[in-house]
Amino acid sequence: MKVLSDLEALHPELVRIPVMKAGIYRRMWNLSKAAEALQSAINNVKVRDHYVYLTMKLARFKAKVEGDFNAAYEVLQQALKKYPVSKTGRFC
């Protein structure tokens, strides 16, 4: 875990690192830390496509792993408020 944290500190633009950290926490059954890793990455991201990617990952995590579909819906609603759907109908 320290390797991923160090790598994330050196390269905060790499979006896969928080996803990998969340996967490790999930495998350790530390679900709150997994969700926290994704949420903190969402809060710190600056690129729209990265925001959308991480939001989808967090919503999927909440729905499939935690079984909380309402929380997944709320995550997606917040993303739509921040970045509305484009005229072509695409989220990104």
Convert the chain into a string of H (helix), E (strand) and C (coil).
CHHHHHHHHHCCCCCHHHHHHHHHHHHCCCHHHHHHHHHHHHHHCCCHHHHHHHHHHHHHHHHHHCCCHHHHHHHHHHHHHHCCCCCCCCCC
Q: Which sequence spans correspond to the domains of the chain?
A: 2-82
Report residue 31 CA to chain centroid gap. 13
- pLDDT for res 88: 67
Tell me the pLDDT band of 89, cut-offs 50, 70 and 90.
low
**Is the pLDDT confidence value at 91 over 70?**
no
- pLDDT for res 27: 93
What does pTM read for this prediction?
0.83
**Is the pLDDT confidence value at 51 over 80?**
yes
- pLDDT for res 4: 78
Average pLDDT taken over every residue of the chain: 87
Tell me the pLDDT band of 53, cut-offs 50, 70 and 90.
very high
**Is the CB of residue 24 less than 8 Å from the CB of residue 1?**
yes
